[in-house]
């Protein structure tokens, strides 16, 4: 429906922008000049303490100099309360005392509007009557249940919880006296038998939850059984002109407004979960109405928040529901439109968790919510054993089919990259126990040779013994790239040890860096610990105390690390930060490349042709290039001696060819 420009002009003229905005902000008295229609406040659309949000009453526009939010009073209501255009206009029109323009005359449409209006009046009256019954003597059973569930008087009032007496004619009698029995039947409150028998109440002996649409109108009821003889635990209103179960969410309107402020949304399973969440401060909570989430409801969720958190019971049924939502959402994923999944502890729902551990317990579970790609992976991995080629082929086929359902190409490619990495880790062969013990034996031997307790052995560059086969050659290549990773790590850590002042600005990158050597991880943890306790000025001494060896002396035993131009004290902090950030990035790239090379070696371990050796040499050259760039060295020029890593690979390729 299009609105006449004259109507919108009059609406803007009747309402003052500063009055509308003033309900959401506190004006800064020092900067504001009300006499000139000039107002300033902290922006309601982003977190800030300074007043950078400006309202010009004379022009009727606002602008934030921080986040660049701008618009008029209609835009402000849309953005601040998460409404669409027509809903914002309707809300402002009601505030201004203006009647919304009607569509062109259509007798049937007018009749439908009048009928819907009468049905809504009937539903509101039913909500009032259920509330009266709850507070009266007949509602003692309902009040006892509410008390057992920990529902406060404020919560009961906020959600207008009522009681349907165990009486076949409680509503029927009231609406017959009012002359609105026909509307009560149409709204699903009263059942009229097909055989012409006496009409009777649909809801009896139940706790009642009014279900309201986004505009706050009562359109249906949810009912919870209170008597053991009642078969259905929860019962909803039937489908009516007002109520479509698959297109409705419980607590939709309030949650939409709260989500507009926080950018977050929780999707629980039922009424009591939502009520418990809201009472605990999680006002951005909704629930479907006793059925699995539908596609229409999914679109409603994404209109409220870009990544709703689906909070489900931590039992088998909850997992099945999560997988159904995931299957439904896959074709609709897009940048800024996804889901997260919050799985409750076994046997617990949000209501249980909040009652046992309070809001903090619920927040901890929400913070651990899983991204959708993780749920997809867990679902497919859990389908059965993957110990045969046939099972793995089926596993790959299911993953390809699931990813193929993602319509957005960019999202699909990112999912494929993530799944590819997870698959490589899942099927990476494990080293035999004897091989796993070898490094520990070497470390013990190195400690004895070094003559110090806890002192790691120095790194040595060397090749495998004569008689190498293709599989041995693959292992030799793996050893070489592992050595290259250790060299890169030693260089990064040595630079940081000599220049601890830069760590405060790079703590997040430093902590997230992947380290392949356990002793390097120990040094990094000790360095972060030193930063946490304020011992940056004595970083090396703190690390030595924690690790049992001098980190500078240990790391400097790697010639390539010791030779780095920044691996010494007194360097320019800006330059050190720049080099370390680049080095950490290159290290991550190199590790990813080495993982790809290792996969290629395993795939081609039985190959005997020249293409395999060429591919391995090319891989070694790429790793060597990345290592040299990271260490600040020039690339190997033609005629120059190659690096020890490349020499080793060349030596093994030559031996493989001579077999």
Range in 24-33, 87-96, 151-160, 473-482 the model is least confident about: 473-482
Kindly state the percentage of the chain with pLDDT values over 90: 28
Average pLDDT, the chain: 80
Flag whether pLDDT at 583 surpasses 90. no
Range in 23-32, 249-258, 435-444, 632-641 the model is least confident about: 435-444
Which value, to the nearest 10 degrees, does the dihedral of the CA atoms of residues 528, 531, 533, 539 take? Answer: 90
What DSSP string describes 15-71?
S-HHHHHHTT----TTT-BGGGTEEEE--TTS--SS--EEEETTTTEEEETTT--EE
In 3-state terms, what secondary structure has residue 563? Answer: coil
The Cα 15–Cα 34 span in angstroms is 16
The Cα 468–Cα 200 span in angstroms is 89
pLDDT value of position 106: 56
pLDDT value of position 472: 46
Burial class for 34, CB neighbours closer than 10 Å (0-12, 13-18, 19+): exposed
pLDDT value of position 564: 87
pLDDT band at residue 588 using 50, 70 and 90 as cut-offs? confident
Burial class for 557, CB neighbours closer than 10 Å (0-12, 13-18, 19+): middle
pLDDT value of position 441: 44
Structure confidence by residue, pLDDT tens digits, 166-206: 999 999 999 999 888 999 999 999 999 988 789 999 999 99
What DSSP string describes 342-374?
EEPPTT--HHHHHHHHHHHHHHHHHHTPEEHHH
- Which range among 10-19, 350-359, 462-471 has the greatest average pLDDT? 350-359
What DSSP string describes 64-90?
ETTT--EE-HHHHHHHHHT--HHHHHH
**CATH number, domain 250-381:** 3.40.1360.10
Instruction: Give me the residue spans of the domains in the chain.
Output: 5-96, 113-243, 250-381, 468-657
The Cα 284–Cα 263 span in angstroms is 9
Kindly state the percentage of the chain with pLDDT values over 70: 79
- Angle among Cα 481, 417, 478 to the nearest 5 degrees reads 15
pLDDT value of position 238: 93
Structure confidence by residue, pLDDT tens digits, 108-160: 666 777 888 899 999 999 999 999 999 998 899 999 999 999 899 999 999 99
Range in 32-46, 71-85, 163-177, 627-641 the model is least confident about: 627-641
Beta-bridge mates of residue 250: 287
Structure confidence by residue, pLDDT tens digits, 46-80: 877 788 999 988 788 899 988 888 899 999 988 88
pTM score: 0.57
pLDDT value of position 195: 82
Class of domain 113-243: alpha beta
The CA radius of gyration of the chain, in Å to the nearest whole number, is: 34
Structure confidence by residue, pLDDT tens digits, 494-529: 998 888 888 877 877 887 788 888 888 888 888 887
Which tokens in the block code for residue 495?
């630079």
What DSSP string describes 267-292?
E-SSHHHHHHHHHTT--SEEB-SSSP
The whole-number average pLDDT for the span 631-654 is 52
- Which range among 105-109, 296-300, 381-385, 605-609 has the greatest average pLDDT? 296-300
Range in 393-402, 548-557, 594-603 the model is least confident about: 594-603
Flag whether pLDDT at 450 surpasses 50. no
Cβ neighbours of 414 (radius 10 Å) = 15
- Identify the architecture of domain 5-96 in CATH: Alpha-Beta Complex (3.90)
């Amino acid at each position: 429906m299009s609105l006449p420009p004259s109507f919108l002009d009059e609406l803007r003229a009747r309402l003052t922008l500063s009055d509308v905005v003033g309900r959401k902000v506190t004006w800064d008295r020092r900067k504001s000049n009300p006499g000139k229609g000039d107002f300033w406040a902290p922006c309601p659309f982003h977190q800030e303490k300074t007043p950078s949000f400006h309202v010009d009453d004379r022009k009727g526009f606002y602008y934030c100099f921080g986040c660049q939010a701008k618009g008029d009073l209609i835009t402000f209501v849309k953005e601040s309360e998460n409404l669409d255009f027509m809903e914002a206009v309707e809300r402002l029109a009601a505030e201004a005392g203006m009647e919304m323009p009607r569509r062109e005359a259509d007798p049937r449409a007018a009749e439908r509007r009048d009928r819907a209006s009468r049905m809504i009046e009937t539903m509101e009256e039913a909500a009032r009557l259920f509330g009266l019954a709850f507070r009266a003597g007949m509602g003692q059973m309902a009040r006892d249940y509410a008390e057992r569930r920990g529902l406060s008087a404020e919560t009961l009032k906020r959600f207008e919880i009522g009681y349907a007496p165990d009486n076949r004619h409680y509503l029927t009698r009231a609406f017959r006296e009012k002359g609105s029995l026909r509307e009560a039947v149409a709204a699903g409150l009263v059942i009229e038998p097909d055989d012409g028998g006496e009409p009777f109440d649909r809801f009896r002996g139940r706790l009642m939850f009014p279900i309201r649409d986004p505009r706050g109108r009562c359109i249906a009821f949810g009912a919870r059984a209170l008597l053991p003889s009642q078969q259905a635990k929860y019962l909803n209103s039937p489908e009516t002109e007002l109520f479509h179960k698959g297109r409705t969410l419980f607590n939709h309107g309030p949650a939409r407004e709260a989500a507009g402020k926080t950018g977050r949304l929780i999707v629980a399973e039922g009424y009591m979960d939502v009520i418990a969440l809201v009472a605990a401060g999680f006002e951005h909570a909704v629930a479907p109405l006793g059925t699995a989430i539908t596609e229409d409801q999914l679109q409603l969720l994404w209109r409220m928040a870009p990544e709703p958190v689906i909070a489900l019971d931590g039992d088998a049924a909850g997992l099945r529901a999560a997988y159904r939502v995931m299957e439904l959402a896959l074709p609709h994923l897009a940048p800024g439109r996804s889901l997260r999944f919050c799985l409750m502890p076994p046997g617990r729902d949000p209501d249980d968790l909040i009652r046992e551990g309070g809001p903090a317990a619920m927040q901890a579970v929400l913070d651990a919510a899983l991204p959708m790609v993780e749920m997809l992976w867990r679902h497919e991995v859990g389908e059965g054993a993957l110990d045969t080629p046939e099972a793995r082929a089926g596993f790959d086929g299911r993953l390809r089919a699931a990813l193929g359902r993602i319509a957005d190409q960019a999202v699909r490619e990112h999912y494929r990259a993530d799944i590819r990495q997870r698959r490589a880790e899942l099927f990476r062969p494990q080293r035999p126990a004897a091989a796993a013990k070898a490094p520990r034996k070497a470390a013990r031997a190195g400690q004895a040779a070094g003559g110090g307790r806890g002192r790691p052995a120095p790194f040595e560059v060397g090749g495998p013994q004569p008689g190498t086969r293709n599989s041995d050659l693959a292992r030799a290549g793996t050893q070489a790239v592992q050595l290259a990773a250790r060299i890169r790590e030693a260089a990064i850590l040595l630079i940081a040890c000599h220049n601890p002042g830069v760590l405060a600005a790079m703590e997040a990158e430093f902590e997230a860096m992947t380290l392949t050597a356990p002793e390097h991880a120990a040094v990094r943890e000790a360095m972060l610990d030193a930063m946490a306790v304020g011992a940056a000025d004595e970083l090396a001494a703190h690390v030595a105390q924690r690790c049992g060896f001098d980190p500078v002396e240990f790391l400097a035993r790697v010639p390539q690390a010791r030779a780095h131009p920044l691996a010494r004290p007194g360097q320019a902090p800006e330059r050190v930060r720049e080099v370390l950030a680049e080095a950490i990035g290159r290290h991550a790239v190199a590790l990813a490349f080495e993982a790809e090379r290792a996969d290629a070696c395993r795939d081609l371990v039985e190959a005997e042709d020249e293409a395999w050796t060429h591919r391995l040499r090319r891989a070694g050259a790429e790793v060597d290039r990345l290592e040299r760039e990271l260490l600040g060295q020039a690339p190997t020029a033609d005629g120059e001696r190659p690096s020890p890593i490349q020499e080793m690979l060349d030596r093994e390729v030559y031996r493989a060819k001579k077999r």
